[in-house]
Amino acid sequence: MVRLTINDTPVEVAEGTTVLHAARQAGVRIPTLCYVERLQAIGACRVCVVEIEGMLNLAASCSLPVREGMRVRTNTRRVRESRRLVVELLLSEHDGDCQTCDRREDCELQALSAELGIRSITYTGQKTRKRIDLSTPGLIRDHGKCIKCRRCVSVCAETQHVGALWAQGRGFDTAIGPAFNRELSTVACVQCGQCAAVCPVGAITEQSHIERVWDAIDDPHKHVVVQTAPAIRAALGECFGCPPGTLVTGKMTTALHKLGFDAVFDTNFAADLTIMEEGSELLARLRRTLVDGQPAALPMFTSCSPGWILFAEYFHPQILPHLSTCKSPQQMFGALAKTYYAEKLGLKPEQIFVASVMPCTAKKFECQRPEMNASGGPDVDAVLTTRELGKMIRAAGIDFLSLPESEMDAPLGLSSGAADIFATTGGVMEAALRTAYEVVTGRPLPLDNLHVAPVMGLTGVKEASLVIEDTRPDWSFLEGVELRVAVAHGLANAQRLVDAVLAGERQYHFIEVMTCPGGCIGGGGQPRFTNDTVRLARIQAIYQEDESKTLRKSHDNPAIAELYATFLGQPLGERSHHLLHTKYHARSAV
Amino acid sequence: MTVESAPCAGCHEVTDAERFAQLDDVLQQYRDVPGALIPVLQIAQAIFGYLPDAALRRISTALGKSFSEVAGVVGFYSFFTTVPRGRHLIRVCLGTACYVRGGKDVLAALRSALRVEVGETTADQTFSLDVGRCFGACGLAPVIMIDDDVHERVRPGQLMGILEKYRVPGARDAVRREARQETV
């Protein structure tokens, strides 16, 4: 332990602790801007400076380790004035459009300016040059607002192992962005939106589909349906001041009805369907190799997460045959809404407008992929992030917190607890095992509360194995087989896992990959700011939602059974193949 | 490792394919070397005379660095250029000493004599004009460098004479000897 004083109060902390963390432990607040826990502590913004007795210059507390006997002062005139100076200089360059900025309510620079009591900016000078990049379907970059904190650079390179954003140029002309300040579409960006999730200001945000959705709602010739991803219900409340981890499924459903959607459905329905298709696909690959002795693309990787799909297409084209051919639940839903559901209503596909609410910016990319037109046109017409839905609810004057709860509509609104957990890392794997094990053995998954504990939680790469015993006669080829699975979230973890598999160091049958840390509950379209505490709270809410249901396995969903009986036939059947499965294409990463 | 750049007169013109083959050899050698990016960029610039987009993409792939990172490094160091340069690179020092002793006038004279702006190359591909921040020869200010030659205490009026020596093919060695003697 190291003993020091902070503002004359003795503090004892573990060796290697930074001054910033020591202060936090002692209940002393030091403002920060570029710092992000577990991501970046580079002392770039100089907002977290403190005075250390015996040191000539002020020190950035985020990157300074404590020393025995250190005397730290966080609140001297010199410290306060330096912080103000730094923030005034940032504001003097910031081309902010503050009254109309997307981040006007949760801008960290604005909040810091308020905290430091800044009422005027002493300095006038050049502003950062305004350049707006609309080149990708998911994201907007407004360079004039960038304060060069480099959070996006760190999250893109380190958390996601993509490196689409980097500091270009030097000095005042430094710009954070793609190679040579070209448009984002010119580099390998997976559209995950983690950059938008960590940006402290309005420099990176999602391409808004809000107007598209209002236009559709106001169009009397359109039947407008909405689907909500499982991760929304555990996060939307945060847009209205609820603590992270508040479940708002019923209020959200009521709000969607009030916004004027003709039917309020659930992506969960399509998640249950994904389990039926993807589980069957895995079992088919296993049969192919174990019974027929044919080579099969194992391990099989999940394909729900569009950022991961792009990552594989850009950086690992050799594993594309290993990806499940299943479309993501969003796209399965869209394809069914415009065929199966449209037929039920006697409508043509083009008379249906499908809006999605997703925790994700990459879903905006996914819905415009040319492969996603099984109904003849785009199967999903608009994708709102959780944040955008929050804005629409407020714009409609709906008092969210006082809304009564309501149920989703039939038939595409019915789902199991297995679908809920698609929102969290490890959830798709658990949902798949719940069904696959029961299909093969006729018995429920023999685990406490149906949870696959080793693949739960925030560890970057997780593994589990399960020996299959007493199979049904059809599946006797799996008797005694040890099913090995792995789960990764955050693309840098996925990269590690793929490397280990390609090098032959690890063998698995089935691998779940989610693009964002924590899975979809930590997606790039979720309310800001998402840290591990928030992730864990949302994950807990998701498991709570699962456990509260009587229906907890995808294959028990009666609406899915009816869909197969009356429309699809069987999993991996011809209609499924056309509507629910897709192909991938290698893309050049440079 | 050093790489000979421009072929001498009379030798065959090096083709792009040959240059890329040379780059591939370098990349093979540096594939697993940590911190290889900057040395590889230096060598690549010696091979091509500048850093063409295609070479940077190849470097990005081979070293497993994102294209944006590679571009970020290229853009950070003024040594690197992504536009073809003329046969001779003129760099005018605008460090403090050279600046106060007339470096700016020398630069203005060069801009008008060559009819190019900083960062540009003359139409006949002979000269590229750039600025530098201190070559470590402050006692000789103002200085300019042409390729590896330092020219000291330059006055705008002397520039035409200096440039003329570089216009003659093969005359460079003589110039170099002369420049070296000047600095001694």
Task: For residue range A124-137, list pLDDT tens digits in order.
Answer: 889 998 999 999 99
Asked about A81 being catalytic, the answer comes back as: no
Query: What is the pLDDT, as a whole number, of residue A513?
Result: 98
Over the stretch A219-235, which tens digit does the pLDDT of each residue have? 999 999 999 999 999 99
Query: A363, A364, A462, A553: which is the annotated catalytic residue?
Result: A363
**In angstroms, what separates the C-alpha of A488 from chain B's closest C-alpha?**
21
Read off the pLDDT of residues A32-74 as tens digits, 9 standing for 90 and up.
999 999 999 999 999 999 999 999 999 999 999 999 999 999 9
| End-of-domain residue from the set B76, B104, B122 | B76
Whether A553 sits among the annotated catalytic residues: the reply is no
Of A93, A371, A479, A547, catalytic? A371
| Tens digit of each residue's pLDDT (9 = 90 or more) over A376-397 | 999 999 999 999 999 999 999 9
Asked if the structure places residue B5 within a domain, the reply is: no
Instruction: Give the CA count within 13 Å in the CB-facing half-sphere of A441.
Output: 19
Contact B70 A165 (CB under 8 A): no
**Candidates B56, B60, B66; nearest CB to A164:** B66
Q: Is residue B96 assigned to a domain? A: yes
Percent above pLDDT 90 for chain A: 98
Whether the pLDDT of residue B181 is over 60: the answer is no
B107 pLDDT higher than 90: yes
Whether B139 and B178 map to the same domain: the answer is yes
Within 13 Å and on the Cβ side, how many CA atoms surround A435? 29
List all residues 6 or more positions away from A155 whose beta carbon is below 8 Å from its beta carbon: A36, A39, A194, A195, A197, A198
Buried b (16+ CB within 10 A) or exposed e, B29-68: ebeeeeebbeebbbbbbbbbbbbbeebbbbbbebbebbbb
Domain with B132 in it: 88-183
pLDDT band at B2 (very low <50, low <70, confident <90, very high): very low
- Give the residue from chain A lying closest to B57, CA to CA: A590
The dihedral built from the CA positions of residue B88, B93, B98 and B100, taken in this order, carries a sign that is: positive
The verdict on residue A258 lying in a domain is yes
- Mean pLDDT across A11-26: 97
Query: Are A164 and A308 within one domain?
Result: no
| pLDDT for the residue numbered B1 | 46
Conformation bin of residue A70: beta by default, left when phi > 0, alpha when psi is -120 to 50: beta
**Residue B184 confidence (pLDDT):** 43
Q: Do A179 and B76 touch (CB under 8 A)?
A: no
Is residue A238 scored above 70 in pLDDT?
A: yes
Each residue's pLDDT tens digit, A529-538: 999 999 999 9
Closest C-alpha to A524, from A394, A392, A388, A419: A388
Q: Is A108 a catalytic residue?
A: no
Share the mean pLDDT of chain A: 97
The total number of structural domains in chain B stands at: 2
A411 cis-preceded (ω within 30 degrees of 0): yes
Residues A16, A66, single domain; the answer is yes
Give the mean model confidence (pLDDT) for residues A447-459: 97
Domain membership flag for residue A528: no
Alpha carbon distance A15, A6 (integer Å) = 16
> Which of these three, A206, A222, A249, is where a domain ends?
A206
Residues A436 and A472 in one domain: yes
Q: What is the mean pLDDT of chain B?
A: 88
pLDDT digit string, tens, across residues A503-557: 999 999 999 999 999 999 999 999 999 999 999 999 999 999 999 999 999 999 9
CATH code at A316?
A: 3.40.950.10
CATH no. for residue B99? 3.40.30.10
Q: Is B28 exposed, middle or buried (0-12, 13-18, 19+ CB in 10 A)?
A: exposed
| Annotated catalytic residue A520 | yes
Q: Mark whether A211 is an active-site residue.
A: no
Collect all residues of chain B within an 8 Å Cβ-Cβ radius of residue A162.
66
| B103 min Cα distance to partner chain A (Å) | 22
Q: What is the pLDDT of residue B11?
A: 54
Q: Are residues B97 and B69 part of one domain?
A: no
Q: Does residue A362 lie within any of the structural domains?
A: yes
**Mind spelling out the 3-state secondary structure of B18-57?**
HHHHHHHHHHHHHCCCCCCHHHHHHHHHHHHCCCCHHHHH
User: DSSP secondary-structure letter at A161?
Assistant: S
A13 - beta bridge partners? A2
For strand A9-13 and strand A166-168, is the pairing parallel, antiparallel, or unpaired? unpaired
Catalytic residue among A51, A108, A238, A281: A281
Please determine, for residue B8, whether its predicted confidence score (pLDDT) is greater than 70.
Answer: no
Q: A-chain residues within 8 Å CB-CB of B75?
A: 168-170, 180
Say whether both A281 and A249 belong to one domain: no
Non-local (6+) Cβ contacts of A70 within 8 A are A2, A4, A5, A19, A52, A53
- Do B119 and B150 belong together in one domain? yes
What is d(CA A421, CA A546) in angstroms, rounded to the nearest whole number? 7
* Confidence at A402, pLDDT banded by 50, 70, 90: very high
Shared domain check, B62 and B39: yes
* pLDDT at position B111 over 70: yes
Residues of A in contact with B72 (CB under 8 A): 166-168, 179
- Is the peptide bond prior to A265 cis by the omega test (within 30 degrees of 0)? no
Flag whether A152 is in a domain: yes
What residues of chain B have any CB closer than 8 angstroms to a CB in chain A?
A: 56-58, 60-61, 65-72, 75-76, 82
User: Would A387 be classed as within a structural domain?
Assistant: yes
What percentage of chain A carries pLDDT values higher than 70? 100
CATH number at residue A368: 3.40.50.1780
Domain membership of residue A229 as a residue range:
210-269+330-402
- Residues A202, A214, single domain; the answer is no
Same domain, yes or no, for B103 and B45?
no
Of A154, A188, A206, the residue that ends a domain is A206
Give the pLDDT of residue B12.
66
Amino acid making up residue A280? S
Reply yes or no on whether the pLDDT at B9 is more than 70: no
Contact B66 A166 (CB under 8 A): yes
Together in a domain, A260 and A280: no
Residue A59 structure tokens: 């020190």
Give the residue from A287, A273, A282 showing the smallest Cα distance to A327: A273
Whether A363 sits among the annotated catalytic residues: the reply is yes
pLDDT tens digits, one per residue of A324-346: 999 999 999 999 999 999 999 99
Q: Which of B54, B76, B98 is the last residue of a domain?
A: B76
Select from B40, B55, B76 the last residue of a domain: B76
Q: Which residues of B touch A499 (CB under 8 A)?
A: none
Q: Is A426 on the interface with B (CB under 8 A)?
A: no
Last residue of one domain, picked from the residues A45, A75, A105: A75
The answer to whether residue A220 sits within a structural domain is yes
Q: Which of B57, B60, B65, B68 to mutate to test the interface with A (most CBs of A within 10 A)?
A: B68
H-run or E-run covering A50: strand A49-52
Instruction: Report, in angstroms and rounded to the nearest whole number, the Rg of chain A calculated over CA atoms.
Output: 25
Whether residue A35 contacts residue A24, with contact meaning beta carbons closer than 8 Å, is answered with: no
Mean pLDDT confidence for B56-75:
97
Q: How far is A248 from chain B (nearest CA, A)?
A: 40
Q: Which residues contact A94 (CB under 8 A, 6 or more apart)?
A: A109, A127, A128, A144, A145, A147, A201
Count Cα neighbours of A147 within 13 Å in the Cβ-side half-sphere.
Answer: 26
Domain membership flag for residue A89: no
Residue A313 burial (CB count, 10 A):
20
Compute the distance between CA of residue A444 and CA of residue A438 in angstroms, rounded to an integer: 5
Is A81 domain-assigned? Answer: no
Residue B114 domain flag: yes
